Amino acid sequence: MVEAKRPGMIPVSLTEIAQVTYGRMLKQATAIHDRDNTDVLVHSVVTDSRQAQDGSLFVAIPGEHVDGHDFIETAAKQGACGALVDHIVEHVSLPQVVVNDTVKALGLLAAHNLERRRALPTPFEVVGITGSVGKTTTKDLLAAMLRELGPTVAPIGSFNNEIGLPLTALRVNESTRFLVAEMGASQVGDLAYLTSIVPLDIAVELKVGVAHLGVFGSVDRIAQAKSELITGLLPGGISVLNADDERVAAMDKLAPGRVLWFGLADGSRPQQQLDMSASNIRTDDADHPSFQLLAAGESAVDSKLNISGVHNVVNALAAATVAHELGLSTEQISQVLSDVGFVSPHRMAISHVDVEDVEFTLIDDSFNANPDSMKAGLTALSTWGNAEDKTQDSTYRIAVLGGMLELGEQTLALHRDVGAYCAQLNVDALVAVGGRRGELSVMAQAMVEGAQVQVGGEAGNSAALALFQAADTDEADQIVRKLASEHPGSVVLLKGSHFSGLCNLAERWQGKRFGVTR
């Protein structure tokens, strides 16, 4: 066989790919190799033609606005050695594997890659993580821990759906020791499908919240969907459950094997009842939590997170429970937690911004939002700096919030709740951001209304909380710059759904930032 370059997945021929995806091989001579190259070994799989390289299989996925089938020749010029398609594409130089559905075929190929890895004699474990909030941060922390034990594959960002998860699984090769899989669900059945592609040795359940409530219809249906992670465990697999969430705790009845518990120690539940717990939680001026980390039967270890937000203690506990089970000591876990100063983009990323002589600290948590994560972000903002002694606290806190999608009939009520919650905290200004999508402006108005009811003031005039409704991110930018110029030492939280465009505002500001992310 002809060997391609840069390894990624376990190498596989195009002929075998056609077999495992139930496809039909269309053989063509290529301009690159000038031969029938169906036996060339594929080393990587891409869905973006710009990422193709020597030895890549390009998977053509039809999208709402762009069809991957139009970019096969681009992938060929980048070095791809074959294409996975749902119909024959004429006048291209790559061999084509024709299947009924390229997304389903991508899943079949990923499952085949993992089956081949499990067939090898060296140890290999797969950990799956789900929850309404905290998946990506937990994944990032766990991956950093497991890299202390062996080669670990984990997605960058939130590759957690029927496309992103297989692409991550297709980075597993003969040397991979651990695969950390983030798994998201927007309807019942999603996790059942994902775990059929990537069967789990360990399943981590973080929280059942109200994300995608409009799609699911009820929190109970969300719990049902999340529980599919547990039923997707391999026989005897380990369930890692959040003892502080009653709906997660109830999933122990579905566990096919051992259950490990993590949670916060309080008066109602002694630490000894938890496999991994945290106590004596406190935060510094930059909202980095410190706490005592305790594994059952061991001595407590003083620990500190190098990422902000007290809500991330629970995410750290979930990761620590898995890493400890797989062989990492609590001392090693504590060291990793203090070292990891980064998470995936736009998730509680702290930076210093200097825009046209206006300076402020940015808490960029703008990747996405739901009511639970929104309140967690606001709590982190409110505790930034010397929040306990307000007489000595000169920090000016600005919450820039966008709309939250897929909440159904409760959309406006939940946005009013967020506005009211903001008004209850140690926050000085709320900038609610609308957008081109009309519903985003309605959501922004609801947040302002909720805050107004709480403080009894008018927009921009409340002594307790300055309220602003921005038509779009450009107006929000100007409001923030004005507030920050008037209040040196300001801290700004960006939080909203992806469609709110706040990620773009963060990147606009960070293009002129200095310093490093902590």
pLDDT of residue 170: 96
The reply to whether 94 and 200 lie within a common domain is no
CA 193 – CA 332 distance, rounded (Å): 35
Q: Which of 12, 45, 328 is nearest to 177 (CA)?
A: 328
- In this structure, are residues 394 and 426 in contact, taking their beta carbons and an 8 Å threshold? no
The reply to whether 153 and 210 lie within a common domain is yes
The residue type of 234 is: L
Q: Which of 179, 247, 173 is nearest to 216 (CA)?
A: 247
The reply to whether 440 and 397 lie within a common domain is yes
What is the enclosing helix (H) or strand (E) of 183? none
CA 487 – CA 286 distance, rounded (Å): 18
Q: Is residue 2 part of a domain?
A: no
Q: Is residue 124 part of a domain?
A: yes
Q: Is residue 135 a known part of a binding site?
A: yes
CA 217 – CA 423 distance, rounded (Å): 28
Query: What CATH number did the domain enclosing 44 receive?
Result: 3.40.1390.10
Q: Is residue 133 a known part of a binding site?
A: yes
Which range marks the domain in which residue 299 is found? Answer: 120-339
Q: Is residue 136 a known part of a binding site?
A: yes
The reply to whether 77 and 197 lie within a common domain is no
pLDDT of residue 38: 61
Q: Is residue 5 part of a domain?
A: no
Q: Is residue 137 a known part of a binding site?
A: yes
Q: Is residue 195 a known part of a binding site?
A: no
What is the enclosing helix (H) or strand (E) of 396? strand 396-401
pLDDT of residue 514: 34
CA angle 82, 85, 90 (to 5 degrees): 80
End-to-end CA distance of the chain: 48
CA angle 346, 352, 353 (to 5 degrees): 90
The reply to whether 383 and 467 lie within a common domain is yes
Q: Is residue 40 part of a domain?
A: yes
CA 137 – CA 158 distance, rounded (Å): 10
pLDDT of residue 22: 96
What is the reported pTM? 0.78
What are the 10-residue block averages of pLDDT along the chain, 518 residues in total? Answer: 55 95 77 54 93 94 89 93 94 93 97 97 97 89 96 83 93 97 86 95 88 56 88 96 93 95 74 85 85 94 90 95 98 94 71 85 84 87 68 81 83 91 91 81 91 67 76 92 92 86 86 40
Q: Is residue 361 part of a domain?
A: yes
Q: What sign does the CA torsion over 96, 97, 102, 107 have? A: negative
Q: Is residue 140 part of a domain?
A: yes
Q: What sign does the CA torsion over 509, 494, 205, 278 have? A: positive
If 0-12 CB within 10 Å is exposed, 13-18 middle and 19+ buried, where does residue 512 land? exposed
Query: What CATH number did the domain enclosing 174 receive?
Result: 3.40.1190.10
The total number of structural domains that make up the chain: 3
Phi/psi of residue 243, each to 5°? -70, -15
Query: What CATH number did the domain enclosing 357 receive?
Result: 3.90.190.20
The reply to whether 284 and 244 lie within a common domain is yes
The reply to whether 216 and 77 lie within a common domain is no
